[in-house]
Structure 1
């Protein structure tokens, strides 16, 4: 048996590193599922987990069939890829130092994350079928198109020098602004807003579950950001891990203190979302800002996410999990922050305004495409299949209405008017008699 060469050893190390990072990023879907299920009411927790599962199933297939080719295929004018569909090519034009299969798996985990960001925003009132269609379109077309501009070596934003190392723009801003478009078409949950526009609090059913989901996401981010180096031999991965961690810590800390100052008590939901906001914001610049810069970015995100929730509520854009604030607003801020805090090209480091200008152009471009395409898709779905469940189903709960089963059967009574099935396929009565089903009607 021949001894492996140094280049073969390097490829082996890099391949294992990317596969490990891909596993961490994919495990973030468990974090999304727990976070979103915890933030919604108990009667809708199965439904939201099902939507996250469909992101992983339908979304993976869509990205395999079409999305990867659009994103990383041979570029047509810097705007769209047009090769390597169904993973039939070898992606030689990318000059990868790892097998294309490892690269695809890592990128596919990113793709499904974009759709999952939207799943939380539309929770508790969107039909299951139309959501699956949107998830497929998002992973196969919307995300790959804008990510081609940013990450394909021939993409027009990549050629301009845009810095978005792991996706504050391509993943988080895209998912966040797509979420805003979706909820504007979908409309708010019953009882969320009073006739004068003031919001009512619809409490989360399990903050411990949501917190667990946030910890899983934080853990997975060590694959999301350092893994984007694509090399286990790149010593900068240590710096990337540190800046990632510091931004999360600063976001959660400021989220805690700022809500204490603003409302007199620390808000657990804002501590959770403050950490996630810091992570979404640092993702663009994690490889190019200093630890001090990472703390600044995370701290700004910790304040911004609290204020953004109020701004979004004033639009009557009902977002049960804060996806628009965390990913759209704070992800966008992180893209802009790179233009200021990049240690070689940033404005505050003597690099002038060139990078800042590129970052602004790139952010505006991908955000507009994400918002407008999602708005259009939801309008089409609304006028054909319909995107919203009936008032009766919304009040009863999505779990029973759409899936015929309850997440917490011990707290459910079973009248004969509604029938589901047990684990063996036998008919069993299910009910909407949940303590937390609101009885309020929509504002007249």
Structure 2
């Protein structure tokens, strides 16, 4: 029982750290966008965590962990509404003594809201709040737990075998969390269109500076700290060797990602861009998340370094496609999520051509499902209640029009 208590305390601490990440996302998003939309972004992030937990309680948890049985294809199953602890839920028999059933629910629930938070940054400054909330409810309540059930719920991805590879592997969610949000962000950005003045008439991207870079930096450092819980908790116990290795690989990848992004951006753009440095750190974190428990420190550094380089190229590529992503969410969460998932087949203890093929096939399956789902939701909203605010609302700022308040009422600056 002592071991269960120790494990459970660690998992509750990790749950708190993942919750804390939502403050990091909030700071990052408001820091990289304009003052006039601060309240709107904060409102979205607060809504996501509140709605996400309630939706996970109502049905998401039982949709994600439905109890697939032998003979089930492992695509879709539902264990019922609400949550009721099993008989062994508070005993060492549950989850091999890693944590109690209640802690399991809360830890997984914290992950659920993250997918919609990723979308929030990409669509900032021009999406209707009501439309975003409806999208978030459907995506968190249905799409995220269905995809999660395919792997973490012991569904068909976990049993997909090619040669010696025994199923898809995604330790803490490079695909199942980050790219699930990233695919939706991509679809939303395409359907929404760019912010006014983001691109010149000839299609050249123009910088729209964020209003508070110190807050953005604080957000990234909070997210880095939160990743101790995101990846460290995914060991699903306080196992000393497992948790220590994961924290080391996570931190090394983050540091290498930051250095890789800062060096390449300095070479390409002839300046020391802090926002690129910060996004490189996040890219390294996302990149290591799929295989943090499989990698050596050396491999973690390589994965992070390449993720940092991918971030710079990814942001430039998104701009070239004339897609407007104010915080770089598509490059960070989608492109680096794909890289991190493929890296499992290239580096670490599972590296093999067979595993690489399994990883790639599962990326395509998840990507296809998320693209279709996100398109149906967002396009449906676009054709019914609309998804984009009016030009006047966008120019004036969403804070005044949708919330009737100013984040900094005693400190006004030129917002255009």
In which range does the TM-score fall when normalised by the shorter chain? Answer: over 0.9
Render the CA deviation track for 1:94-139: whole Å, top value 9, x for unaligned.
9523221100100011011111000000100011111111111111
- Aligned residue for 2:22? 29
Residue 329 (structure 1) shift: 0.2
- Aligned residue for 2:144? 143
- Aligned residue for 1:17? 10
Structure 2, gaps ≥5 residues long: 161-166
2-structure distance, mates of 1:393, 1:411: 20
Q: Is the 8 A contact 2:94 2:101 kept in 1?
A: no
Q: Superposition RMSD on alpha carbons, in Å?
A: 1.5
Render the CA deviation track for 1:354-399: whole Å, top value 9, x for unaligned.
1111111111111221222111110001111111111110000011
2-structure distance, mates of 1:15, 1:85: 25
- Is 363-372 or 180-189 further displaced after alignment? 363-372
- Aligned residue for 1:418? none
- Aligned residue for 1:377? 377
Q: Is the 8 A contact 1:68 1:84 kept in 2?
A: no
2-structure distance, mates of 1:293, 1:240: 12
Rg larger for: 1
- Aligned residue for 2:76? 80
1:355-434 alignment, distance < 5 Å = 355-412=355-412, 434=413
Q: Is the 8 A contact 1:84 1:91 kept in 2?
A: no
2-structure distance, mates of 1:191, 1:47: 20
2:190 to 173, 180, 184: 184
Residue 92 (structure 1) shift: 6.9
Structure 1, gaps ≥5 residues long: 1-7, 348-352, 413-433, 438-444
Render the CA deviation track for 1:153-194: whole Å, top value 9, x for unaligned.
2x1111232110000010111111110011111111111112
The alignment of Structure 1 onto Structure 2 pairs a total of residues equal to: 402
1-structure distance, mates of 2:269, 2:203: 21
- Aligned residue for 2:330? 324
Q: Is the 8 A contact 2:85 2:102 kept in 1?
A: no
1:212-223 alignment, distance < 5 Å = 212-223=218-229
Render the CA deviation track for 1:183-209: whole Å, top value 9, x for unaligned.
111111111112222111111111110
- Aligned residue for 2:347? 341
- Aligned residue for 1:415? none
2-structure distance, mates of 1:81, 1:278: 34
Render the CA deviation track for 1:386-443: whole Å, top value 9, x for unaligned.
111111100000111110011111234xxxxxxxxxxxxxxxxxxxxx5122xxxxxx
Q: Which has the higher contact order (CA 8 A, sep 6+)?
A: 2
Render the CA deviation track for 1:30-83: whole Å, top value 9, x for unaligned.
000000010000001111011000001111111111211110112252112310
Q: Is the 8 A contact 2:400 2:406 kept in 1?
A: yes
2-structure distance, mates of 1:385, 1:92: 47
Residue 233 (structure 1) shift: 2.8
1-structure distance, mates of 2:76, 2:168: 17
- Aligned residue for 2:53? 60
Per the alignment, in what secondary structure is the counterpart of residue 344 of structure 2? helix
TM-score of the pair, normalised by structure 1: 0.88
Q: Is the 8 A contact 1:38 1:206 kept in 2?
A: yes
2-structure distance, mates of 1:120, 1:90: 38
Q: Is the 8 A contact 1:225 1:241 kept in 2?
A: yes
Residue 10 (structure 1) shift: 1.7
1:141-290 alignment, distance < 5 Å = 141-153=142-154, 155-160=155-160, 161-290=167-296
